[in-house]
Structure 1
Amino acid sequence: MAGASILRDPLDYPIAAPTAFGGSRAIFDAAREDVGLTCTPMIETNSMHVLAGFLAAGAGVSITALGRAQMCVGSGILTVIPVVGAAPARGRVALPMCRGARLAPIDQGA
């Protein structure tokens, strides 16, 4: 599983990121940098309402702190995939997206 990452496929989708300041963006950037990826977010927001609307519309995905992501799922429209092994010392990370969205399979044999 060395070199494998759940982050590689989602970054091919439009992504919502926390704004450039604050703890959630630091977690986002640390998880992304740990696997050597770059991305340009489609939107940057710290608003849970904006993030939830973006995700519920199926406009893309996000990578955010697990606690924040879990706040988005109350409606049943969104789902959260915890990202394990991504910068564990820096915080727990999750991938929230529209429930029923299909991401490409993850190659864990890399």
Structure 2
Amino acid sequence: MSGMTGASMLRTRRKDVNVKPNRKLDRKSSRGMLYENEELRLRTININAEVERGQSDIKKLKRENEQLKREISALRYEYDRLDSMLRERRSSPEHSDSIFNCHVPRSKS
């Protein structure tokens, strides 16, 4: 047996397995392994699908987060613009009677 290569040794061992007297038990055992392997394969597929869904959710949340950041930035810019306009109107003497300080008469109904 020392002159055999690795591949031929494996073939010889495989042949020896088939010669065993408890072939029925071996076949059952092998079938059990197939079922176990199939179960593990299905669990792996489910886990991978769950991970993929999680990654997809993360991508969606990142996009949403970026959109919200842009909206916040636009709102800050708009607030600063309006705030500076308001300060400018309040500080200038010609706008002392602006819409912010004047009395608007109510219409009679």
Which TM-score bucket, shorter chain as reference?
Answer: under 0.3
Which structure has the highest strand share of the two?
1
Larger relative CO (CA 8 A, sep 6+): 1 or 2? 1
TM-score when normalising by structure 1: 0.14
Radius of gyration: which is bigger?
A: 2
Which structure has the highest helix share of the two?
2
